[in-house]
Amino acid sequence: MDKTIGIFGGGQLGRMMAQAALPLNIQCTFLEETTDCPSAVLGPVFPAGTEQGLQDFIASAEVFSLEFENTPLADVDVLIREKLLYPPRQALATAQNRLLEKSLFDQLSIPVAPYRAVDSLDSLQQAVAELGLPIVLKTATGGYDGKGQFVLRSESQIQQAWAELGPAGSLVAESFVSFTREVSIIAVRDQRGDVRTWPLAENHHHHGILSHSIVPAPDSTDLQPVAQDYITRLLEHLNYVGVLTLELFVTADGLCANEMAPRVHNSGHWSIEAAVCSQFENHIRAVAGLPLGSTAVIRPTVMVNIIGRHPKSEDVLALNGAHLHLYNKTERAGRKLGHITLMPDDSSELTGLCRQLAKILPEPLALSEAMDIQAI
Ligand code: AMP
Protein backbone atom coordinates (compact mmCIF):
# COMPACT_ATOMS: atom_id res chain seq x y z
CA MET A 1 0.00 0.00 0.00
CA ASP A 2 1.26 3.49 -0.85
CA LYS A 3 -0.44 5.30 2.02
CA THR A 4 -2.66 4.74 5.05
CA ILE A 5 -5.54 7.02 6.01
CA GLY A 6 -6.98 6.74 9.51
CA ILE A 7 -10.72 7.41 9.74
CA PHE A 8 -12.63 8.43 12.85
CA GLY A 9 -15.69 6.17 12.70
CA GLY A 10 -16.23 2.81 11.08
CA GLY A 11 -19.78 2.92 9.70
CA GLN A 12 -20.97 2.64 6.13
CA LEU A 13 -19.38 5.96 5.17
CA GLY A 14 -15.98 4.67 6.23
CA ARG A 15 -16.68 1.41 4.43
CA MET A 16 -17.41 3.23 1.16
CA MET A 17 -14.39 5.53 1.62
CA ALA A 18 -12.15 2.48 2.06
CA GLN A 19 -13.72 0.79 -0.97
CA ALA A 20 -12.82 3.87 -3.01
CA ALA A 21 -9.31 3.98 -1.52
CA LEU A 22 -8.32 0.41 -2.42
CA PRO A 23 -7.85 0.90 -6.20
CA LEU A 24 -5.55 3.83 -5.36
CA ASN A 25 -3.46 1.50 -3.20
CA ILE A 26 -4.51 3.39 -0.11
CA GLN A 27 -5.30 1.48 3.07
CA CYS A 28 -7.79 2.76 5.65
CA THR A 29 -7.82 2.15 9.39
CA PHE A 30 -10.71 3.02 11.70
CA LEU A 31 -11.50 4.14 15.23
CA GLU A 32 -14.89 2.78 16.24
CA GLU A 33 -16.61 1.47 19.35
CA THR A 34 -17.74 -1.82 17.87
CA THR A 35 -15.11 -3.85 16.08
CA ASP A 36 -17.65 -5.69 13.88
CA CYS A 37 -18.70 -2.38 12.28
CA PRO A 38 -19.44 -1.99 8.54
CA SER A 39 -15.84 -0.86 7.82
CA ALA A 40 -14.20 -3.80 9.60
CA VAL A 41 -13.85 -6.00 6.49
CA LEU A 42 -11.75 -3.27 4.85
CA GLY A 43 -9.13 -2.52 7.45
CA PRO A 44 -8.11 -2.70 11.10
CA VAL A 45 -10.53 -1.21 13.64
CA PHE A 46 -9.15 0.29 16.86
CA PRO A 47 -11.48 0.57 19.85
CA ALA A 48 -12.88 4.07 20.37
CA GLY A 49 -13.27 5.36 23.90
CA THR A 50 -9.98 3.89 25.13
CA GLU A 51 -6.68 5.72 25.41
CA GLN A 52 -4.74 2.78 24.02
CA GLY A 53 -7.17 2.45 21.11
CA LEU A 54 -6.67 6.11 20.22
CA GLN A 55 -2.87 5.86 20.48
CA ASP A 56 -2.77 2.74 18.30
CA PHE A 57 -5.09 4.40 15.79
CA ILE A 58 -2.86 7.50 15.64
CA ALA A 59 0.17 5.29 15.08
CA SER A 60 -1.61 3.33 12.32
CA ALA A 61 -1.72 6.02 9.60
CA GLU A 62 0.06 9.08 8.22
CA VAL A 63 -2.99 11.24 7.57
CA PHE A 64 -6.47 11.26 9.07
CA SER A 65 -10.08 11.98 8.21
CA LEU A 66 -13.50 11.27 9.62
CA GLU A 67 -16.84 9.80 8.74
CA PHE A 68 -18.49 10.41 12.12
CA GLU A 69 -19.66 13.96 12.66
CA ASN A 70 -19.73 13.66 16.43
CA THR A 71 -16.10 12.57 16.64
CA PRO A 72 -14.99 13.81 20.10
CA LEU A 73 -12.92 16.99 19.76
CA ALA A 74 -10.79 15.74 22.66
CA ASP A 75 -9.64 12.81 20.47
CA VAL A 76 -9.02 15.16 17.57
CA ASP A 77 -6.91 17.40 19.80
CA VAL A 78 -4.68 14.48 20.76
CA LEU A 79 -4.34 13.50 17.11
CA ILE A 80 -3.49 16.92 15.67
CA ARG A 81 -0.53 17.34 18.03
CA GLU A 82 1.16 14.66 15.93
CA LYS A 83 -0.62 14.15 12.64
CA LEU A 84 -2.69 15.93 9.98
CA LEU A 85 -6.49 15.84 9.95
CA TYR A 86 -8.62 16.67 6.89
CA PRO A 87 -11.11 18.32 7.15
CA PRO A 88 -9.68 20.79 9.68
CA ARG A 89 -10.73 20.75 13.33
CA GLN A 90 -12.56 24.06 12.98
CA ALA A 91 -14.92 22.61 10.39
CA LEU A 92 -15.75 19.73 12.71
CA ALA A 93 -16.18 21.93 15.78
CA THR A 94 -18.46 24.27 13.83
CA ALA A 95 -20.62 21.49 12.43
CA GLN A 96 -21.00 19.97 15.90
CA ASN A 97 -22.67 23.09 17.24
CA ARG A 98 -25.68 24.58 15.47
CA LEU A 99 -25.05 28.01 17.00
CA LEU A 100 -21.47 28.17 15.74
CA GLU A 101 -22.66 26.87 12.40
CA LYS A 102 -25.38 29.48 12.00
CA SER A 103 -23.10 32.30 13.02
CA LEU A 104 -20.57 31.14 10.41
CA PHE A 105 -23.34 31.13 7.78
CA ASP A 106 -24.25 34.68 8.85
CA GLN A 107 -20.62 35.77 8.71
CA LEU A 108 -20.32 34.43 5.16
CA SER A 109 -23.69 35.94 4.08
CA ILE A 110 -25.22 32.51 3.52
CA PRO A 111 -28.96 32.91 4.25
CA VAL A 112 -30.31 31.03 7.29
CA ALA A 113 -33.67 31.09 9.06
CA PRO A 114 -33.78 33.76 11.80
CA TYR A 115 -32.64 32.12 15.04
CA ARG A 116 -31.97 32.72 18.72
CA ALA A 117 -29.82 30.93 21.26
CA VAL A 118 -31.95 29.44 24.06
CA ASP A 119 -30.62 28.42 27.46
CA SER A 120 -33.61 29.00 29.77
CA LEU A 121 -37.38 29.01 29.76
CA ASP A 122 -37.22 32.81 29.74
CA SER A 123 -35.01 32.93 26.69
CA LEU A 124 -37.34 30.45 24.93
CA GLN A 125 -40.30 32.72 25.65
CA GLN A 126 -38.29 35.67 24.41
CA ALA A 127 -37.36 33.79 21.21
CA VAL A 128 -41.02 32.96 20.57
CA ALA A 129 -41.96 36.61 21.10
CA GLU A 130 -39.23 37.81 18.71
CA LEU A 131 -39.39 35.18 16.00
CA GLY A 132 -43.12 34.41 16.08
CA LEU A 133 -44.59 30.94 15.64
CA PRO A 134 -44.08 28.31 14.42
CA ILE A 135 -40.50 27.76 15.44
CA VAL A 136 -38.27 24.69 15.49
CA LEU A 137 -36.40 24.21 18.74
CA LYS A 138 -33.24 22.12 18.35
CA THR A 139 -30.44 20.96 20.58
CA ALA A 140 -27.29 22.89 19.65
CA THR A 141 -25.19 19.71 19.80
CA GLY A 142 -25.73 16.01 19.33
CA GLY A 143 -28.90 15.97 17.18
CA TYR A 144 -29.14 13.95 13.97
CA ASP A 145 -31.84 12.61 11.62
CA GLY A 146 -34.36 15.05 13.15
CA LYS A 147 -33.71 13.85 16.72
CA GLY A 148 -33.49 16.48 19.46
CA GLN A 149 -36.10 18.72 17.82
CA PHE A 150 -39.47 20.14 18.78
CA VAL A 151 -41.76 22.05 16.44
CA LEU A 152 -43.56 24.71 18.44
CA ARG A 153 -46.84 25.75 16.87
CA SER A 154 -48.59 27.43 19.79
CA GLU A 155 -47.54 29.25 22.93
CA SER A 156 -49.21 26.54 25.00
CA GLN A 157 -46.37 24.19 23.93
CA ILE A 158 -43.56 26.32 25.33
CA GLN A 159 -43.46 24.53 28.70
CA GLN A 160 -43.56 21.10 27.09
CA ALA A 161 -40.83 21.95 24.58
CA TRP A 162 -38.63 23.28 27.38
CA ALA A 163 -39.30 20.20 29.52
CA GLU A 164 -38.31 17.91 26.63
CA LEU A 165 -35.25 19.68 25.30
CA GLY A 166 -34.14 21.97 28.13
CA PRO A 167 -32.15 19.24 29.92
CA ALA A 168 -30.17 18.58 26.71
CA GLY A 169 -28.14 21.76 27.26
CA SER A 170 -27.73 24.65 24.90
CA LEU A 171 -30.58 25.03 22.36
CA VAL A 172 -31.33 27.01 19.25
CA ALA A 173 -34.78 28.27 18.27
CA GLU A 174 -35.23 28.96 14.59
CA SER A 175 -38.15 30.20 12.52
CA PHE A 176 -40.02 27.47 10.74
CA VAL A 177 -39.05 27.67 7.08
CA SER A 178 -41.92 27.07 4.69
CA PHE A 179 -39.84 25.35 2.08
CA THR A 180 -41.02 23.73 -1.12
CA ARG A 181 -38.26 21.12 -1.10
CA GLU A 182 -34.98 20.16 0.49
CA VAL A 183 -31.75 19.90 -1.46
CA SER A 184 -28.09 19.33 -0.71
CA ILE A 185 -24.92 20.36 -2.40
CA ILE A 186 -21.75 18.31 -2.03
CA ALA A 187 -18.35 19.73 -2.90
CA VAL A 188 -14.73 18.74 -2.48
CA ARG A 189 -11.62 20.87 -2.07
CA ASP A 190 -8.11 19.52 -2.46
CA GLN A 191 -4.87 20.54 -0.78
CA ARG A 192 -4.06 23.09 -3.50
CA GLY A 193 -7.48 24.74 -3.17
CA ASP A 194 -9.09 23.22 -6.27
CA VAL A 195 -12.88 22.98 -5.71
CA ARG A 196 -15.32 20.66 -7.52
CA THR A 197 -19.06 20.42 -6.94
CA TRP A 198 -21.58 17.70 -7.72
CA PRO A 199 -25.06 18.65 -8.92
CA LEU A 200 -27.73 19.40 -6.32
CA ALA A 201 -29.62 16.42 -4.93
CA GLU A 202 -33.31 16.73 -4.07
CA ASN A 203 -33.84 14.92 -0.80
CA HIS A 204 -36.97 13.24 0.52
CA HIS A 205 -37.30 12.18 4.14
CA HIS A 206 -39.48 9.70 5.97
CA HIS A 207 -39.79 10.01 9.74
CA GLY A 208 -36.78 12.35 9.70
CA ILE A 209 -34.51 9.90 7.84
CA LEU A 210 -33.38 10.36 4.24
CA SER A 211 -35.49 8.07 2.12
CA HIS A 212 -34.31 8.95 -1.38
CA SER A 213 -32.39 11.53 -3.38
CA ILE A 214 -33.02 12.60 -6.96
CA VAL A 215 -30.00 13.81 -8.94
CA PRO A 216 -29.75 16.24 -10.56
CA ALA A 217 -32.49 17.90 -8.52
CA PRO A 218 -35.29 18.71 -10.99
CA ASP A 219 -35.56 22.37 -11.98
CA SER A 220 -32.31 23.28 -10.28
CA THR A 221 -30.48 25.12 -13.07
CA ASP A 222 -30.89 28.48 -11.33
CA LEU A 223 -30.22 27.09 -7.86
CA GLN A 224 -26.98 25.25 -8.71
CA PRO A 225 -24.69 28.31 -9.08
CA VAL A 226 -26.08 29.86 -5.89
CA ALA A 227 -25.54 26.68 -3.87
CA GLN A 228 -22.08 26.32 -5.40
CA ASP A 229 -21.22 29.85 -4.38
CA TYR A 230 -22.37 29.23 -0.78
CA ILE A 231 -20.44 26.01 -0.34
CA THR A 232 -17.34 27.49 -1.93
CA ARG A 233 -17.41 30.32 0.61
CA LEU A 234 -17.45 27.75 3.38
CA LEU A 235 -14.68 25.63 1.85
CA GLU A 236 -12.42 28.61 1.36
CA HIS A 237 -13.12 30.24 4.71
CA LEU A 238 -12.39 26.99 6.55
CA ASN A 239 -9.36 26.19 4.37
CA TYR A 240 -11.17 22.91 3.99
CA VAL A 241 -9.72 19.74 2.51
CA GLY A 242 -12.05 16.86 1.62
CA VAL A 243 -15.78 16.57 1.00
CA LEU A 244 -18.26 19.01 2.57
CA THR A 245 -22.06 18.87 2.36
CA LEU A 246 -24.49 21.75 2.73
CA GLU A 247 -28.18 21.02 3.28
CA LEU A 248 -30.51 23.71 2.02
CA PHE A 249 -34.21 24.55 1.91
CA VAL A 250 -35.69 25.79 -1.34
CA THR A 251 -38.10 28.64 -0.54
CA ALA A 252 -40.02 31.21 -2.54
CA ASP A 253 -37.18 33.63 -1.69
CA GLY A 254 -34.41 31.30 -2.82
CA LEU A 255 -32.08 28.98 -0.94
CA CYS A 256 -31.79 28.99 2.84
CA ALA A 257 -29.08 26.94 4.57
CA ASN A 258 -30.12 24.36 7.15
CA GLU A 259 -26.87 22.71 8.18
CA MET A 260 -23.53 21.48 6.96
CA ALA A 261 -21.89 18.09 7.36
CA PRO A 262 -18.06 18.00 7.29
CA ARG A 263 -18.00 14.66 5.52
CA VAL A 264 -19.30 12.53 2.70
CA HIS A 265 -23.09 12.43 2.81
CA ASN A 266 -25.95 10.02 2.29
CA SER A 267 -27.37 12.26 -0.44
CA GLY A 268 -24.14 11.68 -2.41
CA HIS A 269 -24.12 7.88 -2.46
CA TRP A 270 -25.48 7.92 -6.01
CA SER A 271 -22.09 9.29 -7.13
CA ILE A 272 -20.45 5.85 -6.81
CA GLU A 273 -22.02 4.78 -10.09
CA ALA A 274 -23.61 7.89 -11.54
CA ALA A 275 -20.73 10.40 -11.34
CA VAL A 276 -17.39 10.21 -13.12
CA CYS A 277 -15.67 10.40 -9.72
CA SER A 278 -17.62 9.60 -6.55
CA GLN A 279 -17.73 11.64 -3.37
CA PHE A 280 -15.81 8.83 -1.67
CA GLU A 281 -13.00 8.68 -4.22
CA ASN A 282 -12.62 12.46 -4.37
CA HIS A 283 -12.57 12.66 -0.59
CA ILE A 284 -9.80 10.07 -0.44
CA ARG A 285 -7.93 11.85 -3.25
CA ALA A 286 -8.14 15.17 -1.39
CA VAL A 287 -7.02 13.71 1.93
CA ALA A 288 -4.17 11.81 0.25
CA GLY A 289 -2.93 14.94 -1.56
CA LEU A 290 -3.91 13.68 -5.01
CA PRO A 291 -5.61 15.68 -7.79
CA LEU A 292 -9.43 15.63 -7.91
CA GLY A 293 -11.55 13.77 -10.45
CA SER A 294 -14.50 15.03 -12.46
CA THR A 295 -17.78 15.45 -10.59
CA ALA A 296 -19.87 15.28 -13.77
CA VAL A 297 -23.02 13.14 -13.77
CA ILE A 298 -23.05 10.20 -16.13
CA ARG A 299 -26.83 9.77 -16.11
CA PRO A 300 -29.72 11.09 -13.98
CA THR A 301 -30.29 8.87 -11.00
CA VAL A 302 -32.36 8.17 -7.90
CA MET A 303 -30.69 6.82 -4.75
CA VAL A 304 -32.99 4.95 -2.39
CA ASN A 305 -32.06 4.05 1.17
CA ILE A 306 -32.75 0.59 2.57
CA ILE A 307 -34.08 1.29 6.05
CA GLY A 308 -35.04 -1.14 8.81
CA ARG A 309 -35.45 -4.31 6.76
CA HIS A 310 -33.56 -5.80 3.82
CA PRO A 311 -35.26 -6.45 0.51
CA LYS A 312 -34.28 -9.67 -1.27
CA SER A 313 -31.03 -8.93 -3.10
CA GLU A 314 -32.14 -11.01 -6.10
CA ASP A 315 -35.31 -8.93 -6.44
CA VAL A 316 -33.34 -5.68 -6.44
CA LEU A 317 -30.71 -6.94 -8.85
CA ALA A 318 -33.37 -8.24 -11.24
CA LEU A 319 -34.21 -4.57 -11.91
CA ASN A 320 -32.30 -3.35 -14.93
CA GLY A 321 -30.22 -0.35 -13.85
CA ALA A 322 -30.28 -1.01 -10.09
CA HIS A 323 -27.02 -1.07 -8.10
CA LEU A 324 -27.18 -2.56 -4.63
CA HIS A 325 -24.96 -1.56 -1.71
CA LEU A 326 -25.36 -3.41 1.59
CA TYR A 327 -23.54 -2.27 4.71
CA ASN A 328 -23.38 -5.60 6.58
CA LYS A 329 -25.68 -4.34 9.33
CA THR A 330 -28.38 -6.20 11.20
CA GLU A 331 -32.00 -5.19 10.78
CA ARG A 332 -33.44 -2.67 13.20
CA ALA A 333 -36.31 -0.20 12.77
CA GLY A 334 -35.09 3.10 11.38
CA ARG A 335 -31.55 1.84 10.72
CA LYS A 336 -29.83 2.53 7.40
CA LEU A 337 -28.88 -0.94 6.11
CA GLY A 338 -27.86 -0.12 2.57
CA HIS A 339 -28.84 1.82 -0.51
CA ILE A 340 -29.85 1.27 -4.09
CA THR A 341 -28.80 3.50 -6.96
CA LEU A 342 -31.15 3.47 -9.91
CA MET A 343 -29.65 4.55 -13.23
CA PRO A 344 -31.27 2.88 -16.21
CA ASP A 345 -29.57 3.18 -19.61
CA ASP A 346 -32.56 5.16 -20.79
CA SER A 347 -33.27 7.88 -18.24
CA SER A 348 -36.91 8.08 -19.29
CA GLU A 349 -37.29 4.71 -17.53
CA LEU A 350 -36.21 6.13 -14.17
CA THR A 351 -39.70 6.88 -12.90
CA GLY A 352 -40.92 3.41 -13.85
CA LEU A 353 -37.91 1.84 -12.17
CA CYS A 354 -38.69 3.75 -8.95
CA ARG A 355 -42.20 2.37 -9.11
CA GLN A 356 -40.92 -1.20 -9.50
CA LEU A 357 -38.48 -0.78 -6.64
CA ALA A 358 -41.19 0.62 -4.36
CA LYS A 359 -43.09 -2.66 -4.82
CA ILE A 360 -40.24 -4.86 -3.62
CA LEU A 361 -38.92 -2.79 -0.71
CA PRO A 362 -40.18 -4.16 2.62
CA GLU A 363 -40.62 -0.60 3.84
CA PRO A 364 -42.37 1.52 1.22
CA LEU A 365 -40.82 4.69 2.66
CA ALA A 366 -41.73 7.87 0.91
CA LEU A 367 -40.78 6.34 -2.40
CA SER A 368 -44.31 6.69 -3.65
CA GLU A 369 -43.49 10.38 -4.03
CA ALA A 370 -40.78 9.49 -6.50
CA MET A 371 -43.43 7.92 -8.69
CA ASP A 372 -44.83 11.36 -9.32
CA ILE A 373 -41.57 12.79 -10.52
CA GLN A 374 -42.14 13.91 -14.04
CA ALA A 375 -39.14 15.99 -14.86
CA ILE A 376 -36.24 13.59 -14.44
P1 AMP B 1 -31.96 18.93 10.82
O2 AMP B 1 -31.64 17.96 11.92
O3 AMP B 1 -31.65 20.33 11.16
O4 AMP B 1 -31.39 18.50 9.50
O5 AMP B 1 -33.55 18.85 10.63
C6 AMP B 1 -34.20 17.67 10.22
C7 AMP B 1 -35.38 18.01 9.33
O8 AMP B 1 -36.32 18.83 10.04
C9 AMP B 1 -35.01 18.81 8.09
O10 AMP B 1 -34.58 17.95 7.07
C11 AMP B 1 -36.32 19.51 7.79
O12 AMP B 1 -37.20 18.64 7.10
C13 AMP B 1 -36.89 19.80 9.15
N14 AMP B 1 -36.49 21.13 9.61
C15 AMP B 1 -35.37 21.46 10.28
N16 AMP B 1 -35.31 22.78 10.53
C17 AMP B 1 -36.42 23.32 10.02
C18 AMP B 1 -36.95 24.65 9.96
N19 AMP B 1 -36.30 25.69 10.51
N20 AMP B 1 -38.12 24.83 9.33
C21 AMP B 1 -38.80 23.80 8.79
N22 AMP B 1 -38.36 22.52 8.84
C23 AMP B 1 -37.19 22.28 9.43
* Whether the Cβ atoms of residue 323 and residue 343 lie closer than 8 Å to each other: yes
Sorted by sequence, the CB contacts under 8 Å of residue 160 that are 6+ apart come out as 150
pLDDT reported for residue 207 = 84
pLDDT reported for residue 146 = 64
Most distant CA atoms of the chain, gap in Å: 61
> Ligand 1: does its nearest atom lie under 6 Å from the Cβ of 136?
yes
> Ligand 1: does its nearest atom lie under 6 Å from the Cβ of 113?
yes
Q: What is the DSSP annotation of 115-183?
A: EEEE-SHHHHHHHHHHH-SSEEEEESSS--TT-SEEEE-SGGGHHHHHHHHGGGSSEEEEEPP--SEEE
In order of their start, the domains of the chain are 3-85 (3.40.50.20), 114-175 (3.30.1490.20), 181-370 (3.30.470.20)
Residues of the chain with pLDDT under 70: 143-146, 364-376
Q: How far is the CA of 151 from the centre of ligand 1 (A)?
A: 9
Instruction: Tell me which long-range contacts 189-192 makes (C-beta under 8 A, separation of at least 24).
Output: 189/235, 189/236, 189/240, 189/241, 189/242, 189/244, 189/286, 190/241, 190/285, 190/286, 190/289, 190/290, 190/291, 190/292, 191/86, 191/241, 191/286, 191/289
Q: What is the pLDDT of residues 94-148, one digit of tens each?
A: 999 999 999 999 999 999 999 999 999 999 999 999 999 999 999 999 866 667 8
pLDDT reported for residue 366 = 52
pTM: 0.96
Q: How far is the CA of 299 from the centre of ligand 1 (A)?
A: 29
Residue nearest to atom 9 of ligand 1 (CA): 146
Q: How far apart are the first and last CA of the chain?
A: 41
Q: Which among 258, 265, 267, 369 is the best mutation to test ligand 1's pocket, defined by most ligand atoms within 8 Å of the CB?
A: 258
Q: How far is the CA of 124 from the centre of ligand 1 (A)?
A: 18
